[in-house]
């Protein structure tokens, strides 16, 4: 049973007060103050007023501030317009928290070095909502074309870039940032992080497969045993040596592994009282779903997947695995509305859902197995602070032990 930790009412109310825009109509008049250059312009106007009505020193201050503003705005503008930048990843797809290399190609067309270039808007999404440049360069030599390799570690799934990347510069004073679109961009797909699961899903199925629990008798597969001849059996399967010993027809019994046909439901709704908590809860849920689907794909289990309100079908090959991971990477960071099917199904199913406290629930239902063959349902809860790798590693093992004990 999951324990819900409610945030204090006072802190939640204070947070809403601190983040609420009470005067949206005035934004267009004060947004220019978001850049430090706006404050410099305001200080220049005040210094000019002082020089006009109070003391001549105001003119000196106004001239100094104006010189800083001109330099701080002219140099960034020149820097982004005399350079051409292109950004591309060395691999077109990586997993979360796995380092990869980005190649930044820069061409400087002037005979002076350019300082302080940065690429914004490619991998700027962070779990806490902060934005930081994807690539930063201290200096670009004059009259050169160079490639720079930078190691980056994407922390959130998705298809990048999310917005149009731009080359930015705020050198030397950082009072204003000039931006310009990149010349060339190549996309990068970040797949959810995968955790290995020990063993195979412990549900006996009815479909012949290369792997799986159970060994149903048939004409193909490994040797299981012998039995008496039944009407309709083929003469090819008669064990003549055993038949001669028993003076009756004996048939060789063979069996092959059986695979279950599964329905997998993945809850993609945002569950959390705070935007960051809801995003983190969904990210853990998608990682669990990716690990489960990867294990099922490796076991070649026939699976019908429903991601939110979307249905997904894929083959048991490399292309199908990539298609499955791409679909999980496409789930919005803030979630999307969906309705899980709560009806009792005749097929086995795995449901992955979440709670507002950040816990992840994996419900494994087997209507054709379990105690007295009346069906069994097992729910595994992964707490918000639990080690995801350790919890997922024994996901099938816990269910197997429970079935054996039953």
**pLDDT value of residue 274:** 56
Predicted local distance difference test score (pLDDT) of residue 379: 86
Q: How would residue 399 be classed by pLDDT, with cut points 50, 70 and 90?
A: very low
Spacing of C-alpha 118 from chain mean position: 25
What mean pLDDT do residues 267-276 have? 68
Token reading at 234: 């083929």
Q: Work out whether strand 303-307 and strand 262-266 pair parallel, antiparallel, or are unpaired.
A: parallel
Torsion of CA 203, 205, 211, 213, to 10 degrees: 50
Per-residue model confidence (pLDDT) at position 8: 39
Q: What is the pTM of this model?
A: 0.71
* 380 φ, ψ (degrees, to nearest 5): -110, 125
- Note the pLDDT of residue 261: 74
Is 315's pLDDT higher than 80? Answer: yes
**What pLDDT was estimated at residue 123?**
82
User: Could you tell me the two tokens for 94?
Assistant: 């990586």
- The CATH superfamily assigned to 81-191 is Immunoglobulins (2.60.40.10)
What pLDDT is stored for residue 341 in this prediction?
Answer: 59
In contact, 217 and 254? CB cutoff 8 Å: yes
Q: What would the mean pLDDT of 62-71 be, rounded to a whole number?
A: 91
| pLDDT band with cut points at 50, 70 and 90 for residue 314 | confident
pLDDT per position as a tens digit, 116-144: 899 888 886 654 445 577 888 889 999 99
Residue 96 confidence class, pLDDT cut points 50, 70, 90: very high
Residues 6 or more apart from 60 whose CB is under 8 A from it?
51
CA atoms of 180 and 77, how far apart (whole Å)? 9
330 DSSP 8-state letter: T
CA distance 318 to 95: 16
pLDDT at site 162: 82
């Amino acid at each position: 049973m999951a324990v819900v930790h409610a945030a204090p009412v006072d802190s939640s109310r204070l947070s809403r007060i601190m983040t609420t825009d009470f005067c949206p109509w005035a934004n267009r008049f004060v947004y220019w103050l978001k850049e430090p250059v706006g404050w410099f312009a305001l200080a220049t106007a005040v210094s000019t007023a002082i020089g006009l009505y109070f003391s001549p020193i105001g003119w000196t201050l106004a001239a100094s501030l104006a010189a800083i503003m001109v330099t701080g705005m002219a140099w960034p503008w020149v820097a982004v317009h005399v350079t051409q930048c292109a950004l591309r990843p060395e691999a077109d797809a990586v997993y979360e928290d796995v380092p990869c290399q980005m190649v930044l190609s820069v061409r400087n067309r002037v005979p002076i070095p350019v300082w302080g270039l940065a690429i914004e808007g490619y991998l700027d999404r962070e779990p806490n909502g902060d934005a930081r440049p994807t690539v930063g360069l201290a200096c670009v030599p004059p009259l050169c074309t160079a490639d720079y390799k930078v190691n980056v570690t994407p922390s959130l799934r998705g298809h990048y870039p999310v917005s149009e990347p731009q080359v930015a510069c705020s050198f030397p004073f950082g009072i204003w940032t000039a931006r310009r679109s990149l010349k060339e961009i190549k996309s990068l797909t970040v797949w959810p992080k995968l955790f290995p699961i020990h063993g195979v899903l412990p549900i006996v199925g009815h479909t012949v497969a290369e792997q799986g629990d159970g060994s149903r008798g048939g004409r193909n597969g490994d040797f299981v045993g012998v039995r008496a001849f039944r009407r309709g059996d083929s003469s090819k399967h008669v064990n003549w040596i055993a038949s001669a010993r028993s003076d009756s027809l004996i048939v060789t019994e063979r069996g092959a592994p059986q695979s279950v046909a599964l329905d997998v439901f993945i809850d993609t709704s945002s569950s959390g009282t705070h935007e960051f908590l809801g995003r983190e809860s969904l990210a853990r849920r998608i990682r669990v779903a990716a690990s489960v689907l990867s294990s099922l794909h490796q076991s070649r289990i026939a699976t019908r997947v429903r991601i939110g309100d979307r249905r997904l079908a894929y083959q048991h090959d490399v292309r199908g695995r990539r298609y499955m991971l791409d679909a999980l990477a496409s789930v919005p960071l803030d979630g999307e509305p969906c309705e899980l099917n709560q009806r009792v199904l005749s097929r086995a199913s795995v449901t992955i859902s979440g709670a507002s406290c950040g816990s992840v629930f994996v419900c494994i239902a087997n209507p054709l197995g379990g105690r007295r063959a009346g069906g069994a349902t097992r729910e595994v809860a992964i707490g918000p602070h639990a080690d995801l790798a350790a919890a997922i590693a024994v996901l099938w093992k816990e269910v197997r032990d429970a079935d054996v004990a039953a």
